Structure 1
């Protein structure tokens, strides 16, 4: 079983919910966790990871390079660059590697062959460790200004699948990134179930609708968790959305200050404050996941 936890909107508590569910399920089910937010991974912080056992570089991005010795300084490349990343520096045309997308337009329009080349550079790094709780964690970090965040997530999941096969692990829980971009598509692709996390606000409702359309594209069953339940009393938009789309609501988590406190302790809230109101709600959700999803 591969479970993807997504939200559409950032800041709704998706990673905190994911960390809590992973912690509550780890003793009953062999599982591996994947942090699929390559832009801003944080699942390792919630589990107090201090070191990585293994790292792999992903090389796949391309950036343009201009040979200043053979460049005739006509400026056509700078004029035609769709990303405006070619500038003059010390009388030479140079490429800003942080904004270059490696599209190759500059090389195509350059009147002198061989002056501009496309060179492969590192997109990011994928990391693996065994947490102090005993389950493996795969994470990734996208380098600044690099593309291929979706490719990083895909490679994360492939690595996780190999570990599952080697160690007889049955389940993968993927903590997706916010939004509906490449990372989220890679997170949801191949998943058996999507658990959506939202807070009772119009912005969160709008974004969870967007990510649900991605879930529908993959024809995956979806479940909804409403976090920070009492943040906006009287807001019924999430309930109406769930009813219209026939999405089961598997839990409601009240707003609870122990959650940010547990983050500062580098622990899931259900470990740091097991008797808090949010922990009790999360334990109930974990039981529903066991009965309805992992049965």
Structure 2
């Protein structure tokens, strides 16, 4: 199965919970982890990855190039660029800022000198593979600064993970999605068999997890909910009420626990270093539910 873990909101403990669930399930199943947050990947840090065994560059983004030799310096491209990424350098040449260029080719269409402005492919990021210190593989990606195509990076991550599942006879893929509902999240949820949503009892988290659930509904995937920091705001009941109204099973509640930030500072899952902490006990129960009701 392919299980996507999403939240809609950053900072709710999604990667922390994912790392702990991977640790708890690694002895029951043959797993592969995918860090689908290409803009800020950190799952590998919690799983003890110190260096990557293999890296693949991803090329796909396009940026405009202006040939200074044929450019007549009319300034039309500068005036028409919708992203204002063309400027004049100290030598009087028009230059494209690659960090803000979206490759829309408006400048190339309005340029009066054919062939002066061209679109060229540049690197968007890198996809990498490693074996965690717990024995299962992880696929991660790092988007280059200012580059688009984070969704394509995640899609390629998952394709690589699928090939490894076939080669290594692995059973399940656990995908740690990014925050929000953008391209990365859509790519991580697309093709998944089930989605596990992480939320905390706050109005902001409820609003964002509702948006994430709409993406899950688009793909017609069954969804489950884990409430993290469940005792942080005991008077807030709308999260549970929403889940009940939507028919989303709540498979566990994790209490606020100071052992979690301590374990993160140690770069280890909390269930490994503080197995008797309140959060670890709750996560063990959640892992059992996932094993029985989802993975089988």
Task: Give the TM-score taking structure 2 as reference length.
Answer: 0.99
Please report how far the alpha carbon of residue 88 of structure 1 lies from its aligned counterpart in structure 2 after TM superposition: 1.1
Determine if the alignment matches structure 1 residue 177 to structure 2 residue 143: no
Q: How many residues align?
A: 295
Please report how far the alpha carbon of residue 196 of structure 1 lies from its aligned counterpart in structure 2 after TM superposition: 0.1
Cα deviation 1:32-52 (Å, max 9, x = unaligned): 000000000000110121111
Match of 2:206 in 1: 205
Q: Which range moved further: 71-80 or 216-225?
A: 71-80
Match of 2:224 in 1: 223
Match of 2:4 in 1: 4
Question: In structure 2, the residue corresponding to 1:266 is in which secondary structure?
Answer: coil
Match of 2:87 in 1: 87
Please report how far the alpha carbon of residue 237 of structure 1 lies from its aligned counterpart in structure 2 after TM superposition: 1.2
Question: In structure 2, the residue corresponding to 1:56 is in which secondary structure?
Answer: strand
For residues 260 and 105 of structure 1, what CA distance do their matches in structure 2 show?
48
Please report how far the alpha carbon of residue 19 of structure 1 lies from its aligned counterpart in structure 2 after TM superposition: 0.5
Question: In structure 1, the residue corresponding to 2:275 is in which secondary structure?
Answer: coil
For residues 237 and 101 of structure 2, what CA distance do their matches in structure 1 show?
44
Match of 2:278 in 1: 277
**Runs of 4+ in structure 1 over 2 Å off:** none
Match of 1:246 in 2: 247
Please report how far the alpha carbon of residue 230 of structure 1 lies from its aligned counterpart in structure 2 after TM superposition: 1.4
Cα deviation 1:97-129 (Å, max 9, x = unaligned): 000000111000000001101010000000001
Cα deviation 1:232-265 (Å, max 9, x = unaligned): 1210111111011000000000001111110111
Match of 1:267 in 2: 268
Cα deviation 1:61-103 (Å, max 9, x = unaligned): 0000111111111111111111110011121111110000001
Match of 2:160 in 1: 159
Match of 2:20 in 1: 20
Match of 2:29 in 1: 29
Determine if the alignment matches structure 1 residue 73 to structure 2 residue 77: no
Question: In structure 1, the residue corresponding to 2:151 is in which secondary structure?
Answer: helix
For residues 45 and 143 of structure 2, what CA distance do their matches in structure 1 show?
17
1:132-171 correspondence runs (5 A): 132-171=133-172
For residues 237 and 127 of structure 1, what CA distance do their matches in structure 2 show?
40
Question: In structure 1, the residue corresponding to 2:210 is in which secondary structure?
Answer: helix
Match of 2:257 in 1: 256
Task: Give the TM-score taking structure 1 as reference length.
Answer: 0.99
Question: In structure 2, the residue corresponding to 1:229 is in which secondary structure?
Answer: coil
Structure 2, unpaired ranges of 5+: none
Please report how far the alpha carbon of residue 138 of structure 1 lies from its aligned counterpart in structure 2 after TM superposition: 0.3
For residues 23 and 69 of structure 1, what CA distance do their matches in structure 2 show?
58
Match of 1:110 in 2: 111
For residues 156 and 27 of structure 1, what CA distance do their matches in structure 2 show?
24
For residues 247 and 161 of structure 1, what CA distance do their matches in structure 2 show?
28
For residues 186 and 52 of structure 1, what CA distance do their matches in structure 2 show?
23
Match of 1:61 in 2: 61
For residues 28 and 197 of structure 1, what CA distance do their matches in structure 2 show?
23
For residues 242 and 103 of structure 2, what CA distance do their matches in structure 1 show?
41
For residues 17 and 284 of structure 1, what CA distance do their matches in structure 2 show?
12
